[in-house]
Amino acid sequence: MWQPVHLNISCSINSLLILTTMRVSTVVLPFLLPAAYAQLNTLAKAAVSTTQTSLRRPPRDEQNRTDSKDFGTATDNVEFPDTALVAALSNTSEFGQVTPGNTQKWDSIEPSPGVFSFTQGDVVTALAEKNSQLLRCHNLVWFQQLPAWVLNGTWTNATLTAALQKHVTTEVTHYKGQCYAWDVVNEALNDDGTFRNSVFFTTIGESYIKIAFDAAAAADPDVKLYYNDFSIETPGKKATGALNIVKSLKASGTKIDGVGFQAHFIVGSTPSKAVQVANLQSFTALGVEVAITELDIRMTLPSTAALLSQQSTDYQNTVAACLAVKSCVGITYSWVPSTFPGTGAACLFDENLVRKPAYFGVVAAFTGSSTNSTNAVASTNLSNATTQGVFSQTANGTNSSIANPSSPASRPNFTSSAVVKGPR
């Protein structure tokens, strides 16, 4: 849907270490900290052996990464004045992966015909390179965020095909060797599984998808190529449409490595672990890997203790589903509150970088423990110098005062992602 922002998060080794190295005060949490509590990147790595997930790194493992999992998030250039957030983004013990939210899209990269500008797109790329973080690139062809010359142009099949090929080839070539995966085509389907009447479909037909994937593969043979969409997380017409895209591309000999499931869920109606596992496996059976690419689980505001507890369970089930599928390579958390007015509080952290109960739901998925099996409470207010913020939570989910003077009133694009199997 919209673009994710990637911040990679990895934590201290165990709860004893955390509690002895962080300030402790009296904020009541509606759950117990898991006994094996550690930062998410550490837990993601440890979960490999217990889930027997088949892990592998991309061909370009030039950055001395020996681990097979990473925890990450997306970001956007507009967030870079936020010094606390940039410090968090740069903390590689917390974050091993980043994704540019908007600056690699067509309107940013090629605002005028044949005039390419990578200045904005290179900002997040440079951050990832500086920190030796993985870079997941997003996206090449989408029906939104197109410049007017594309959206309103007078096209023929031949002229739009040429423009499409030039755009994909030029951008993928520029980022060759930097991205471990590309979302090549984003949201090509309607809810009923038919193709959207985008300028590409109405002019070229469904073959525009093959054209885009072929151009990307030719420009960078090593990068992972994904189809990405929302509302394909459960069996149905749209999921069938996505399956058919994979089948069609493979039948034609076109390279497609994976399918991204955006997973924009609602608290209390998130698909069960069993349903998600079965659906993911229907795709991996076709010989592609899968990834949960824009996970958020929104609730009606204001949040309550009950909603936050259910959200924690929903996150736990979704992460556990990916862990249970051999070729599920990752989970990316992302959220834009304005997308669904009146709802929010959809991610693992709030706008002040405070860990929510949902965070510990992910911990539980990685450790095989439970966050909601007891009414006992833990009294902790954790301040982590590496992220320059006080991690705290009251029993009803509201924030205590945050000792972080550089924290903005709102971080609408703050999201976080966990790659549970070596980069997609």
Reported as a single tens digit per residue, the pLDDT across 374-397 is 322 222 222 232 222 222 222 223
CATH number of the domain residue 379 falls in: 3.20.20.80
> Would you call 110 a catalytic residue per the annotation?
no
65, pLDDT greater than 80: no
9, pLDDT greater than 60: no
Q: What proportion of the chain, given as a percentage, has pLDDT over 70?
A: 69
228, pLDDT greater than 70: yes
CA dist., res. 182 & res. 8, Å (int): 18
The per-residue pLDDT for range 178-218, each reduced to its tens digit, is: 999 999 999 999 999 999 999 999 999 999 999 999 999 99
Contact 92, 8 (CB under 8 A): yes
What percent helix, strand, coil does the chain show, rounded to 5? 35, 20, 45
**Cross-strand pairs, 98:** 73, 135
Q: What proportion of the chain, given as a percentage, has pLDDT over 90?
A: 51
CA dist., res. 53 & res. 280, Å (int): 14
Provide the domain count of the chain: 1
* DSSP assignment string, 276-333: HHHHHHHHHTTT-EEEEEEEEEEEESSP-HHHHHHHHHHHHHHHHHHHHSTTEEEEEE
> What is the structure's pLDDT at 347?
82
- Residue 8 inside a domain? The answer is no
- Residue 193 inside a domain? The answer is yes
Q: Which residues contact 303 (CB under 8 A, 6 or more apart)?
A: 345, 396, 397, 398
26, pLDDT greater than 80: no
> What is the structure's pLDDT at 188?
99
The domain containing residue 355 runs over which residues? 15-419
The per-residue pLDDT for range 394-413, each reduced to its tens digit, is: 222 332 222 232 333 344 34
* The dihedral formed by the CA atoms of 310, 97, 338 and 405, expressed in degrees to the nearest 10: 90
How much is the pTM? 0.79
Residue with tokens 């039948």: 251
Position 251 confidence tier, pLDDT thresholds 50, 70, 90? very high
419, pLDDT greater than 60: no
- Residue 7 inside a domain? The answer is no
Ranges 11-20, 79-88, 245-254: which has the least confidence: 11-20
Ranges 258-267, 269-278, 415-424: which has the least confidence: 415-424
Half-sphere exposure of 187 (CA within 13 A, CB side): 18
- Residue 69 inside a domain? The answer is yes
418, pLDDT greater than 60: no
Exposed/middle/buried for residue 322 (C-beta within 10 Å: 0-12, 13-18, 19+): buried
> What residue ranges in 209-282 does DSSP mark as E strands?
224-229, 258-261, 264-266
More confident of the two residues 422 and 122: 122
CA dist., res. 337 & res. 54, Å (int): 35
- Residue 2 inside a domain? The answer is no
The per-residue pLDDT for range 108-146, each reduced to its tens digit, is: 999 999 999 999 999 999 999 999 988 989 999 999 999
- Residue 389 inside a domain? The answer is yes
Ranges 85-89, 274-278, 340-344: which has the least confidence: 85-89
> What is the structure's pLDDT at 371?
55
Q: How far apart are the first and last CA of the chain?
A: 19
Fill in the amino acid letter for 328.
Answer: C
Position 27 confidence tier, pLDDT thresholds 50, 70, 90? very low
How much is the average pLDDT of 315-336? 84
Position 264 confidence tier, pLDDT thresholds 50, 70, 90? very high
366, pLDDT greater than 90: no
**Cross-strand pairs, 100:** 75
- Residue 5 inside a domain? The answer is no
* DSSP assignment string, 385-408: TTTTEEE---TTSPPPP---TT--
**Among 79, 110, 233, 294, the one annotated catalytic:** 294
Residue with tokens 């023929």: 156
More confident of the two residues 290 and 52: 290
More confident of the two residues 348 and 24: 348
CA dist., res. 371 & res. 373, Å (int): 6
How much is the average pLDDT of 136-161? 98
Contact 12, 41 (CB under 8 A): no
- Residue 321 inside a domain? The answer is yes
> What is the structure's pLDDT at 378?
29
Ranges 133-142, 311-320, 323-332, 367-376: which has the least confidence: 367-376
39, pLDDT greater than 50: yes
Other Cβ atoms less than 10 A from the Cβ of 394: the count is 14
31, pLDDT greater than 50: no
> What is the structure's pLDDT at 286?
99
More confident of the two residues 75 and 357: 357
> What is the structure's pLDDT at 87?
84
> What is the structure's pLDDT at 78?
85
Could you tell me which of 413, 411, 404 has the C-alpha nearest to residue 382? 404
Give backbone dihedrals phi and psi of 218, rounded to 5 degrees, phi first: -70, -35
